[in-house]
Structure 1
Amino acid sequence: MNDDIRDQLEEAERTFEGSPGTVEEGLDVDDAELVQLRRACRLLEVGSNLLDQGYYTVVIESAFVAIERTIQFRLIHDGAMSAAEVISSHQRLYQRGAEIGLYDDVFGEDLAELWNRNRTKTYYRLGIATKEQAEAMYRLADDIHRDLVDMTRVSHECLCRG
């Protein structure tokens, strides 16, 4: 890599190490569960906007991540996960959701299988994302989000409701 790119890498690293700068509007909350909730809201919002513009791969990706952020929100909200805990396995995150009763085991397994078979394929361009896939994934993510958020005492904190 040339020196300019190396300098840019170092600058990017410094921005993550330094004190916070301008925080994204709506995410300026201290509560970890609300951060996850609102991240999911933002991902759904951008997914909706990009779907209209034909960016199907990005919509599919944001839908999967919105589902995971929503599940993580509920795990923290329900006391089944600490704010500092990191679940890096998609399958394990879906399993944890089933373990606490957010949905049944079969649904959790189906989510994991959907991720394993299809997300990787479209993300790494082993398959080409289609409008129909993006629309279906967006609807799934939005419905999961609404269902899991609506049953909480903090549903009014959802940015999707605004």
Structure 2
Amino acid sequence: MNDDIRDQLVDAERTFEGSPGTIEEGLDVDDAELVQLCRACRLLDVGANLPERGYYTVVIESAFVAIERTIQFRLIHDGAMSPEEVISSHRRLYQRGAEIGLYDDTFGDDLAELWTRNRTKTYYRLGIATKEQAEAMYRLADDIHRHLVDMTRVSYECLCQG
């Protein structure tokens, strides 16, 4: 890499190491569960606005991540996960949701299989994302989000409600 790009890498690293600058509106919350909730809301917002522009891969990707952030929100909210805990396995995250009763084991397994079979294909371009896939994934993510958020005591914090 040339020196300009190396300098940009160093600059980028510094932005993550320094004190916070301008924080994204809506994500300036201190509670770990609300951070996950608001992240999911933002991802759904992006997913709602990009299909008409033809960004199907981004919609699919944001839908999968929104589902995971929503599940993580509920795990923290329900005391089944500490805010500091990191679950790096997608399958394990979906299993944890089933373990605490957010949905049944079969649904958790189906989510994991959907991620394994399809997210990887579109992300690594082993398959090309379509409008129909993007719309279906967005609807799924939005419905899961609303269902899991609506049955909490903090549903009013959901940015999607506004």
Tell me the TM-score normalised to structure 1 length: 0.99
1:136 lines up with 2:136 in the alignment:
yes
SS of 2:50 mapped into structure 1 = helix
1:59 Cα deviation after fit: 0.2
Unaligned runs of 5+ in 1: none
Task: Identify the residue that residue 89 of structure 1 maps to in structure 2.
Answer: 89
SS of 2:87 mapped into structure 1 = coil
> How many residues align structurally?
162
RMSD: 0.3
Moved more, 46-55 or 100-109: 46-55
Unaligned runs of 5+ in 2: none
1:45 lines up with 2:45 in the alignment:
yes
1:54 Cα deviation after fit: 1.1
CA distance in 1, matches of 2:19, 2:157: 26
Task: Identify the residue that residue 149 of structure 2 maps to in structure 1.
Answer: 149
Q: How big is each residue's C-alpha offset from its partner over 1:94-125, in whole Å with a ceiling of 9 and x where there is no partner?
A: 00000000000000000000000000000000
1:49 Cα deviation after fit: 0.6
CA distance in 1, matches of 2:126, 2:159: 34
Tell me the TM-score normalised to structure 2 length: 0.99
CA distance in 2, matches of 1:139, 1:52: 15
